Amino acid sequence: MFANLELINNFKKFDKLTLRTMTYANKILRINLETQEIREEPLDFEIVQKYLGGRGLGVKILYDELQPKIDPLSSANKIAVMTGPMTGTISPTSSRWCMVFKSPLTKNTLNDTHCGGSLGIQLKKAGFDGIIIEGKSPNPCYIHIQDSKVEILDASDLWGKDTYETQQKLKEKHERHSVASIGPAGENLVKFACILNDARYAGRGGIGAVWGSKNLKAIAVKGSNRIVPANEYAFKKVTRKFLNILKGHPITGTGLGLYGTPILTTAVNKSGVLPVKNFQEGIFDNVRAIAGETLRELLVKQVPCQGCPIGCGRSLKFEDNTTHLEYESLWALGPNCNISDLKIIFEASEKCNRYGLDTISTGNAIAWYMECAERGLVSDAPKFGDGDGLLKLIDDIATQTNSGQLLAQGVKNAAEKIGQGSSDFACHVKGLEMPAYDPRGIKGMALSYATSNTGATHLKAYTVIQEILSTPHYVDPLAEEGKAELVKEMQDVYATLDSAEWCKFTSMAVFSTLKCEVDIYAQLLTTATGFFIDSAEFKKIGERIYNLERLFNYREGLSRVDDELPKRFLTEKLPAGPAKGQVVDNSALLTQFYRLRGWEDDGSPSDRKLEELGIKPLHTSAKLQVALDLRDMDEAIKIAKSAVAGGVDWLECGTPLVKSVGMDIVRKLRELFPHKTIVCDLKTMDTGFLESEMAHLAGADIVCILGIAPDTTIVDAVGAGKKFGIKIHADLIGVSNPIERAIELEKLGVDYIGLHIGIDTQLRSGFDKVPYPTLKKLKESIKIPVAVAGGLNAETIPKAVATGADILIVGGAITRSANPEQATRRLKEKIREASLQNAKNT
C-alpha cells in the first residue's frame, strides 16, 4: 500500500502538475513503411491507466489492430516499439524498452522482447512513447528520428552488413544516436533472428525476421527533451530507497556485478537441471570449464545498461575472442550441444551476435539436430561436442543455406518436417525454444513454461529464484504445492514490470516473501506517473495484460493442448542427480492454475474474469448454460461439478431449485465456483429491483425476469442491474408477439433475450420445439445476445447455433444423463464445431 504520508503531502506542494509533466511523452508515432506515411497520435490515457506502457500497451495496440490469423512475416503484421513510464527516468534499471509483435516462430502468439540498450531513452527524449511500424518498405530502409524530425531513409548500403558494422556506420552518420539493427539473419528471415541495440539484444521470438520482412534494417534515434516525473521530489526520494534496497542485497548489490549471469551455471548444474545434450541429461560433467567463477577471470570490462547500478553485462576475452556472454548463451551453445571449449563457445556467441541470432533458439535448434544425428535420423548433422560443426551450422542458419534452411524455421517446424518422432525431443512450447532450466526438476518452471502466453520463456515467471536460488527463501523445486499460486503471482507482477520497463533482476531484491511484494514499485510508479497505483492495482494491471495476451491466443485458436510440454519431459526421466527419476505431469497443476486465474478448463479466460478486468469478451463461440431445474441442493451441486469439469460456461440455478432450497444454492455455487458465471432464474414478474438485488447479493451474475412482466418491473430490474452490475435476462416464455416484445425489451435496457419453450410444453408436444424461424427473426431484429431453451441436446444444438443462438440453455440432456461430465463435453464440442462452421460460412 502507498502509505507514506510525507510523500502524499508532497503531492499537494506540486498541485500545478499537468499530464504533460508525467514520465510519458504523450505521443505515439505511427510509421507505415509501405505508404511512407508518418503521423503522430496522442496517447490515450484511459488505456494507459489500464495497460501502463511497454509490453502492456503494445499488447493492447496489437490486440486491437491485428487481424486474426495473419502471417507474422507478411506486411499485415505490426511492430509496437514501446517505452514504459520508467524508461529514461532516474529509477535504477530503467533504460529498458521493448517490442511487441506477432511471432513468426510461434505463428499464433504475440511476443514481447525487451532490451536494455539506450534506444528507449532516446525515443522518449525525442518526444515519443512508442512507434507503431506497419507495412513493408519496397526497398531496404531505416528509420531516423531526431526529436520531432522523423524520416524513412534508404538502407541499401547497409543491407548485408552485420549488426556491429551497421551500428558503427549509422553512428558515424548520425552522431550520438542510439541505433538498433538487425543483422543478416533478420534479412534472411531466420525465424529466431534478433536485434542489437548498444551491447544488448532484444532476443526472443524472431523480431529480427519481422524487421527483415518489412525491409527495415535499423532505427537510429536521438532526443533532447527532459523526462520529468509527476512528483519529482517524491520520486527522487523513493528512488533513493529503491537504490538502497538494490545495493544492500547480496545478489543485486554484489553477486551480479562481480560475476554476471554466468554465475548461475554451477548452482543450476548442482541442482541437476542444467540441460545437457538437448535436455537428455541435467548435469554437465565439465561444468568447471565454463563456470561463472572461471569466466570472472576473463573479464575485460563491465558493460552495464545505461544507469544500472547492478551491472551484470560484461565483455569477456578468451584467447583472441572477445564477446558479450550471458548465462543463457553460454548454456545453449555450450552444455546443450555438449561443448565445454570456451574458444568455440566464444566464437559461436560472437557469430550469433553479429548475425543477429537469438542464442537460446540457435543452441536449441542445433542441439536438436545433433540428437537427430545421434539417432540416425539425418546424415549431415554434426555430433554432440563437435565445435566446428556448431560454428558451421550457425553460418548456415544465418544465411539459410544447406541444413541451416531447415533449422532457421525453429525446432517445432523443423521437427514437423523431419518427422520420425523427432517432435518428441524438440524442446519448445508453442514453438518458442526452451531456456536453460530442465522443467522436470523445477515444477514451478514446468508450469511457467507451459502457461506462458509467448511460449517457453523463463521471463514470464522465473520461479528459479525461489526454487533453485532459494530467494527470498527455500522452496522445494520438486514439490507441486503452492506452485500454481507462485507462477500466477509472478506472471502478473512481471507483466507490470515489463510494462513499466524495469529489469526483473530488481525483483530478486524486492520480493521478501512468496507473495511477491511490490510496494516500492507501486510507489515509484505513483510518484512518476501521477496515477495512483497501489500494490493491488499494480498486480491488477499485470493480470489484465496476462489475460489480454491469453485472449489473443484464444482468438488465434490456441487452447489447453498448447499449454503442454514436449513428450521428452512427460515420459523420459532425468537420468541422474538430485532430480533423478523426475518427469513432468502438469495435468493437476494446470487445472488448479486455470481455476486460480478464473479461466475455463480449456485455458481461455472466462467472461466473468474478463469483465472484472474491463476486457470485452470475444464471443466467438456460443455459450453453454446448464439449467439445474432440480429440487435437491446436493444433487444440483454434484451435477454442477460434473458440468464444470466437462467445460460448461454458465451455471443456472433453475426456478424449481431456488423455490426448493432458496438463494442458498446461489451462494453455494458462488463459493464453489468463484469465477463461473452464475445465472439465477427467478422468473420475476414484479418487484424487479428487489429480486435482482437479492440475486446479486447471493452472488449471481445474471438474473432472469419475465419478458411478459410490466415495463415498470423491467425498468426497475435494469436499474438494479446498472447499480449492482448484475445482468438482466428477459425470458420470452408466454409472450405472444416475441419479436415486437424483444425489440421493446432491448430498448428498455435488458442484456439478454431468452427464447424459451417451457418444460410443460415440451412434455406435451415433444422435445426440440425451438421455433427456429422466430429465432432467426429475433437475431435480425435485435443486437443483444439471444439465449435459447427448449429441449436442446447434442443433435439439435448445431441447428440452434447455425440459426444464431448465442447461449444454449440445456437441462435434461445434462442433468438426466448417466454421465453429466461427458454429456457436457460432448455438447461443448458440438457448439465449438457449429461455431467454427458458422465462422467459415460468414
Partner 1 sequence: MRKLIKIILTFFANLQPLFGEEQVIYVEYPIRIIEIFLLFKTKEGIRADNVFLDGNISLKEDFNILLNGRHILAFNGLKTIINEDCEISFFPKIGGG
Interface residue list for partner 1 (CB under 8 A): 249-252, 254-256, 258-264, 266-267, 270-272, 288, 292-293, 312, 327-328, 458-459, 462, 464-465, 469-471, 474, 476, 478, 505, 508, 577-578
Query: With respect to partner 1, which residue has the nearer C-beta, 285 or 634?
Result: 285
Query: With respect to partner 1, which residue has the nearer C-beta, 36 or 254?
Result: 254
Q: How far is the CB of 475 from partner 1 (least distance, A)?
A: 9
Which one-letter amino acid corresponds to residue 675?
H
Distance CA 255, CA 247 (A): 11
Minimal CA–CA distance to 62: which of 19, 27, 30?
30
Distance CA 248, CA 675 (A): 41
Query: With respect to partner 1, which residue has the nearer C-beta, 36 or 470?
Result: 470
Q: How far is the CB of 456 from partner 1 (least distance, A)?
A: 14
557: phi > 0 → left, psi -120 to 50 → alpha, else beta; which?
left
Query: With respect to partner 1, which residue has the nearer C-beta, 263 or 398?
Result: 263
Q: How far is the CB of 470 from partner 1 (least distance, A)?
A: 5
Query: With respect to partner 1, which residue has the nearer C-beta, 287 or 757?
Result: 287
Query: With respect to partner 1, which residue has the nearer C-beta, 58 or 272?
Result: 272
DSSP SS3 for 38: strand
Query: With respect to partner 1, which residue has the nearer C-beta, 233 or 474?
Result: 474
Which one-letter amino acid corresponds to residue 176?
R
C-alpha dihedral, 712 to 716 to 717 to 718, nearest 10°: 100
List residues bridging with 314 in a β-sheet: 302
Q: How far is the CB of 254 from partner 1 (least distance, A)?
A: 7
Query: With respect to partner 1, which residue has the nearer C-beta, 145 or 287?
Result: 287
Distance CA 368, CA 336 (A): 9
Strand runs labelled E in 103-260: 110-115, 130-134, 141-146, 149-154, 178-181, 195-197, 200-202, 216-222
Q: How far is the CB of 256 from partner 1 (least distance, A)?
A: 6
Query: With respect to partner 1, which residue has the nearer C-beta, 505 or 552?
Result: 505
Q: Which residues contact 244 (CB under 8 A, 6 or more apart)?
A: none
Query: With respect to partner 1, which residue has the nearer C-beta, 312 or 666?
Result: 312
Q: How far is the CB of 26 from partner 1 (least distance, A)?
A: 34
Query: Is the Cβ–Cβ distance between 83 and 501 less than 8 Å?
Result: yes
Query: With respect to partner 1, which residue has the nearer C-beta, 256 or 628?
Result: 256
Distance CA 111, CA 204 (A): 8
Q: How far is the CB of 255 from partner 1 (least distance, A)?
A: 5
Residue whose cell numbers read 548463451: 329
Query: With respect to partner 1, which residue has the nearer C-beta, 251 or 705?
Result: 251
List residues bridging with 202 in a β-sheet: 195
Q: How far is the CB of 466 from partner 1 (least distance, A)?
A: 11
DSSP SS3 for 732: coil
Q: Which residues contact 627 (CB under 8 A, 6 or more apart)?
A: 652, 654, 681, 789, 809, 810, 811, 815
Query: Is the Cβ–Cβ distance between 550 and 605 less than 8 Å?
Result: yes
Distance CA 831, CA 807 (A): 10
Query: With respect to partner 1, which residue has the nearer C-beta, 144 or 249?
Result: 249
Distance CA 332, CA 434 (A): 10
Query: With respect to partner 1, which residue has the nearer C-beta, 19 or 258?
Result: 258
DSSP SS3 for 748: helix
Distance CA 617, CA 163 (A): 42
Q: How far is the CB of 331 from partner 1 (least distance, A)?
A: 11
Q: How far is the CB of 748 from partner 1 (least distance, A)?
A: 57
Q: Which residues contact 740 (CB under 8 A, 6 or more apart)?
A: none
Spell out a b/e string for 524-537, using b for 16 or more CB atoms within 10 Å of the CB, else e: bbbbbbbbebbbeb
Distance CA 688, CA 705 (A): 8
Query: With respect to partner 1, which residue has the nearer C-beta, 186 or 292?
Result: 292
Q: How far is the CB of 835 from partner 1 (least distance, A)?
A: 41
Query: With respect to partner 1, which residue has the nearer C-beta, 272 or 363?
Result: 272
Query: With respect to partner 1, which residue has the nearer C-beta, 440 or 550?
Result: 440
Q: How far is the CB of 554 from partner 1 (least distance, A)?
A: 29
Q: How far is the CB of 98 from partner 1 (least distance, A)?
A: 17
DSSP 3-state percent helix, strand, coil across the chain (nearest 5): 45, 15, 40
Give, for 703, the enclosing helix (H) or strand (E). Answer: strand 702-706
Residue 597, number of CB atoms within 10 A of its CB: 23
Q: DSSP readout, 101-142?
A: EE-TTTSSSEEEEEE-STHHHHHHHHT-SEEEEES--SS-EE
Query: With respect to partner 1, which residue has the nearer C-beta, 234 or 508?
Result: 508
Q: How far is the CB of 464 from partner 1 (least distance, A)?
A: 6
Q: How far is the CB of 539 from partner 1 (least distance, A)?
A: 22
| Strands lying side by side in the sheet with 141-146 | 149-154, 141-146, 216-222, 178-181, 195-197, 200-202
Spell out a b/e string for 63-82, using b for 16 or more CB atoms within 10 Å of the CB, else e: beebeeeeebbebbbbbbbb
Provide the 8-state DSSP code for 279: T
Q: How far is the CB of 250 from partner 1 (least distance, A)?
A: 4
Q: How far is the CB of 168 from partner 1 (least distance, A)?
A: 29
Distance CA 349, CA 196 (A): 13
Residue 164, number of CB atoms within 10 A of its CB: 16
Q: How far is the CB of 471 from partner 1 (least distance, A)?
A: 6
